[in-house]
Amino acid sequence: MRSFLIIIALWTFTAGAQTLGGNAVFSFLNLPGSARQAALGGYNITAGGNDLGMGFQQPALLRPSMHGQIATSMNAFLAGIQQYNISSAWYLSKQDITLAGGIQYLQYGSITQTDVSGNVLGSFRPQDYVVQVMASKSYKEHWWLGTSLKYVHSNYGQYRASGIAADISVLFSDTTRLLQAAFLVRNLGTQISTYAPDGAKEEMPFDIQLGITKKLAQAPMQFSLTAHQLQRFNIYYNDPGFNEAEGNTAKPSFGRKLMSHLILSAQFFPSEKLEINTGYNFLRRNDLNVFNASNGLNGFTIGVGLLLKRLHIRYATGFYQRNTFHQFSINLERGGKALGL
C-alpha cells in the first residue's frame, strides 16, 4: 500500500504541467462510459453498486460481484455523432482480483473531403477508440486499489494518431458509516504516434480527481461531491477577443474558479428496482452559458435506472442550451444469470 501511494505521488508531481481538457489530444477519453456516470454530472468516482459501467472511468469500483457481467452503452450526440461502449468483468478467486476489459468507440459519420480550393475528393469517416484493461483488488478491510491500462487511437482520414495511458486509484469504503471516498489519477500517458509525421507529441487529457459519497441511513438516497482537474486551479477557458465582442469583460472570481472544479450529484432509490440519478457540473454550465442571455438548465443532468432481475436498463440526458443528449446503458450477465444490485 505504501509503495502504491508513493508511485501515485511521484506521477502526480511530474504531471503538474499537463494541459487542460480542450487543449489536449484524445479528449474523447473524458466522455462518460455509462448512462449512470453521465447522469451524475459526467464524473463520479465513489458511487458504488453493481454497475460495471462505472468501473470504466474508475477501476477501484470493480467488485467480485461483477464477475460475468456485460455492460453496454450508446450515446447519440448531435449531427449523427455516436458513442458506443462495451465491457465485461471476471473475478480471479485465487488472486482475489477483479479484471475487466472494455472498448469505447466514437464515430462522427461521413464527412466530405475537399482540397484547399474546395474541390470534392470523396469522403471519409473519422473515428476514435480506446481499448482498455482494468483491475481492482481489496486491501485490508476498507481499501480498494484500482488501475487501468489503455491503448488509444484516432483516425481522421489521412491523419492518424495513437497513444497509451493509465489510470490509478485508491478508494476507501466504510459500509458501517455508508461512506466512500476516492483519489483518482486519469489518463497518465503519452502519444505513440502523432497526426503529423515527425510532429511534436501532444499532451493527454490528464486529470486528478477526489470524490466522496455518503448514503443516508434513514432515507433511500445518497449524495456525492466530486472534484476534478485538481492539477491546476484556474481551468476557465478565456478568449479575450470573443469576450470583448460579446461585451463580457468581467473576470471570473476566486469563488467561480473554485466552484468550477466541483460536481454535485444525488441518487434516489424509490424501490429496489428503480433509481433516479441527477448531477450538476459547474464548469460545464460556465462553458455553455451565453453572456447576457437565458441559459436554462445548462450543467444539469438527470437519469433513471430500471433494475430488473436479469437486466439493468439506464437512461441519461443533459442540457446543452436548446439541445440534449441521450445515453442508454444495458447491463446483463453472461449466460443469462441474475444480476445483483
Per residue in 225-246, pLDDT (tens digit) is 999 999 999 887 766 666 666 6
For residue 116, tell me if it sits in a domain: no
Q: Are strands 323-333 and 262-271 parallel, antiparallel or unpaired?
A: unpaired
Tens place of pLDDT per residue across the chain (341 aa): 444 443 444 444 444 444 444 568 999 999 999 999 999 999 999 998 889 999 999 999 999 999 999 999 999 887 788 999 999 999 999 999 999 999 999 999 888 888 888 888 888 899 999 999 999 999 988 999 999 999 999 999 889 999 999 999 999 999 999 999 999 999 999 999 999 888 889 999 999 999 999 999 999 999 999 999 999 998 877 666 666 666 666 677 888 889 899 999 999 999 999 999 999 998 888 877 766 565 678 889 999 999 998 899 999 998 876 678 899 999 998 866 667 66
Residue 118 maps to a domain: no
Residue 64 lies in a domain: yes
In a domain, 255, yes or no: yes
128 to 22, 81, 180, 326: CA distances (angstroms): 16, 11, 33, 19
The model's pLDDT over 177-186, given as tens digits with 9 standing for 90+, comes to 999 999 999 9
Contact yes or no for 266/242 (Cβ under 8 A) = no
Q: Kindly state whether residue 117 falls inside one of the protein's structural domains.
A: no
Three-state SS at 193: strand
Instruction: Tell me if 54 is assigned to some domain.
Output: yes
In a domain, 190, yes or no: yes
Main-chain phi, psi angles of 327, to 5 degrees: -120, 130
How many domains does the chain contain in total? 1
pLDDT number for residue 119: 84
DSSP 3-state assignment of 314? strand
Domain with 256, as residue range(s), is: 2-108+124-336
The DSSP bridge pattern shows strands 300-307 and 274-281 to be antiparallel
Domain harbouring 57, CATH code? 2.40.160.40
User: Per the confidence metrics, is the pTM higher than 0.95?
Assistant: no
